Structure 1
Amino acid sequence: MANLFEQNRNYVLGDEELNLIGDRDKLAQWRHKGMGPAFYKLGRKIIYRGADLNAWAEANRVDPSKEGAA
């Protein structure tokens, strides 16, 4: 698996790299609905770990060659 995010880095809202998966509003919607990558909420600050972002991205990976094969 190729890492899209640095494994040992913490990302906070406003970090440009987070736009890869969604803008600030989309991430807020996912948090509200209990979807999206795992995060920490420390007071009003939202923190995403790179390892969690990579795990979430891998879990949502689509392989077109395996689509429809059952």
Structure 2
Amino acid sequence: MPNLFENDRSYVLGDPELDIIGDRDKLAQWRHKMKGPAFYRLGRKIIYRGADLNAWVEAGRVDPSVRGTS
């Protein structure tokens, strides 16, 4: 699958591209619980790197065609 986010771009809260993974409140909950994609905190500003967002999305990938043996 192609990347959902541009690897060499930084995203800040309010960028519409972030809505694909969650709204502003959901992202705040994840940051508070230390979940979700990696981020930078610069003062009060939150910044997400595109490469980190793509890595987080890929880590959550589920392939139903791959079944574990039981």
Instruction: State the TM bucket, normalised to the shorter chain.
Output: over 0.9
| TM-score under structure 2 length normalisation | 0.93
Aligned to 2:46: 46
Q: Distance in 1 between matches of 2:64 and 2:2?
A: 17
One-letter amino acid of the structure 1 residue matched with residue 19 of structure 2: N
Unaligned runs of 5+ in 2: none
Larger helix share, 1 or 2: 1
Identity across the alignment (%): 77
Q: What's the Cα RMSD here?
A: 0.9
How far the C-alpha of 1:10 sits from its partner, in A, is: 0.2
Aligned to 1:60: 60
Number of equivalenced pairs: 69
Q: Distance in 1 between matches of 2:26 and 2:4?
A: 19
